[in-house]
Amino acid sequence: MLIRIRKASDPLPSEIATKDAILNRRAFMQAAAASSGVALLPMFANDARAAMKIDNVMKTKWGADEKPTTLKGISSYNNFYEFGTGKEDPAANAHTLKPDPWSIEIAGQAGRIGKFGIEDIIRDNQLEERIYRMRCVEAWSMVIPWVGVPLASVLKKFDPTSQAKYVEFETLVDPKQMPGQRSRALDWPYVEGLRMDEAMHPLTILAVGIHGEILPNQCGAPIRLVVPWKYGFKSIKSIVKINFVEKEPVNTWQAQAANEYGFYSNVNPERDHPRWSQKRERRLTGEGGLSALFAPTVETKMFNGYADEVASLYSGMDLKKYF
Ligand code: MTE
């Protein structure tokens, strides 16, 4: 694995964006702000960093007592195979992604289908900050202050029919923008799925920002899923298609290694991954060096600590079988 050492003088990955791109991306943030009746961002901020800021984000109770991982930590150690399989690859390579303009195709069992600009997808929603614990299957975790909107309120706008039992999500396929797609590391597009009640759960969000700033490309710009009680891999990045379907979708990691991952794969400290224990995790704070090897370990909790909110979704299911 290639390790790229970042110099202190290097810009933060979140700063790697052209001014035009920033202004366009702010247009969709303004759509969200306008519909919530709050003041808009200053239109022509000169400072690139200030221009990445998302204004008018409503703070929520989620994670108010957690200490978030630093932005540098969150944006320097990622899984995004479209930009390489190493953890440092996405930060080094994701500048080729063009998140503006961006549209999402809504398909399948819904009253309103078609292609919609990202500004229409999130319009009428108040942007919220939710600080969620995120747990990767490889046993590292971070605390991430997401900026986003509840997925449920987005999905409802497209009038899913009674046949819509699951929601399937797809990432962009464009090897020019996503050079990792020239390799066969995974079958492209990256696909994820949720059962309708998981998708509609109030904890599930579509994120457009982190730490009050527009999502860095390597974190799934311009819009990604966040399902905090599941492994991070459920949280598909750079979404271009949302498909309401009747049958359980086959997600990328299930297709890749069905003996290790299923549709319901989850953070279960009581069931070891076939290749490692799941009892503890390394909490990456982003401070004092980014190496996962030196991060403090903490106990892994059932449903990543969100059992009170979500355990009832799985009552009657043998979660050792649906690993
Ligand atoms: N989405 C796409 N399109 N491609 C990916 O490779 N990796 C998944 C998930 N979403 C992935 C993806 C995995 S394995 C994890 S752990 C999380 O993204 C990591 O998200 P993060 O980099 O923001 O921590």
What's the pLDDT at 322? 76
CA distance linking residue 293 with residue 289, whole number of Å? 10
Q: What sections of the chain are H helices per DSSP?
A: 19-35, 48-52, 71-74, 89-93, 118-122, 151-156, 196-199, 252-256, 307-310
Q: How far is the CA of 237 from the centre of ligand 1 (A)?
A: 6
Q: How far is the CA of 231 from the centre of ligand 1 (A)?
A: 10
Once rounded to an integer, what is the mean pLDDT over residues 102-131? Answer: 96
From 75, 80, 227, the mutation candidate for ligand 1 (largest count of ligand atoms within 8 A of CB) is 80
What's the pLDDT at 316? 92
Of 90, 53, 56, nearest in space to 74 by CA: 90
Per-residue pLDDT band for 27 (boundaries 50, 70, 90) equals low
What's the pLDDT at 169? 98
Once rounded to an integer, what is the mean pLDDT over residues 299-321? Answer: 93
Nearest-CA residue for ligand 1 atom 24 is 78
Of 60, 57, 59, 61, nearest in space to 33 by CA: 57
Neighbouring CB atoms inside 10 A of 241's CB total 18
Q: What are the tens digits of pLDDT across the range 9-23? A: 344 433 444 444 555
Nearest-CA residue for ligand 1 atom 15 is 233
Per-residue pLDDT band for 50 (boundaries 50, 70, 90) equals confident
Nearest-CA residue for ligand 1 atom 8 is 233
Contact status, residue 286 vs residue 70, Cβ threshold 8 Å: yes
What's the pLDDT at 3? 30
What is the per-residue DSSP string for 195-207? EHHHHTSTT-EEE
- The CATH architecture assigned to 13-312 reads Alpha-Beta Complex (3.90)
Percent pLDDT > 70 in the chain is: 83
What's the pLDDT at 13? 39
pLDDT at 307 > cutoff 70 = yes
Which of 152-166, 218-232, 261-275 is least confident? 261-275
Q: What are the tens digits of pLDDT across the range 144-175? A: 999 999 999 999 999 999 999 999 999 999 99
What is the per-residue DSSP string for 213-278? EEPPGGGTTT-EEE-TTSBGGGS--SEEEEEEESSPPPPHHHHH-TTT--TT----TTS-BTTB--
Enumerate residues lining ligand 1, CB below 6 A.
78-82, 136, 171, 190, 219, 232-233, 235-238
Nearest-CA residue for ligand 1 atom 23 is 219
Q: How far is the CA of 189 from the centre of ligand 1 (A)?
A: 13
From 187, 235, 252, 282, the mutation candidate for ligand 1 (largest count of ligand atoms within 8 A of CB) is 235
For residue 281, the one-letter residue type is: E
Q: How far is the CA of 200 from the centre of ligand 1 (A)?
A: 21
Q: What are the tens digits of pLDDT across the range 85-94? A: 999 999 999 9
CA distance linking residue 204 with residue 152, whole number of Å? 8
Length of the chain, in residues: 323
Once rounded to an integer, what is the mean pLDDT over residues 285-308? Answer: 85
Phi, psi angles (nearest 5°) of residue 59:
-70, 145
Once rounded to an integer, what is the mean pLDDT over residues 258-286? Answer: 91
Q: How far is the CA of 85 from the centre of ligand 1 (A)?
A: 11
Contact status, residue 285 vs residue 70, Cβ threshold 8 Å: yes
What's the pLDDT at 119? 92
Q: How far is the CA of 236 from the centre of ligand 1 (A)?
A: 6
Per-residue pLDDT band for 232 (boundaries 50, 70, 90) equals very high
More confident residue, 158 or 40: 158
Contacts of 72 (CB under 8 A, 6+ apart): 12, 286, 290
Per-residue pLDDT band for 263 (boundaries 50, 70, 90) equals very high
- pTM surpassing 0.75? yes
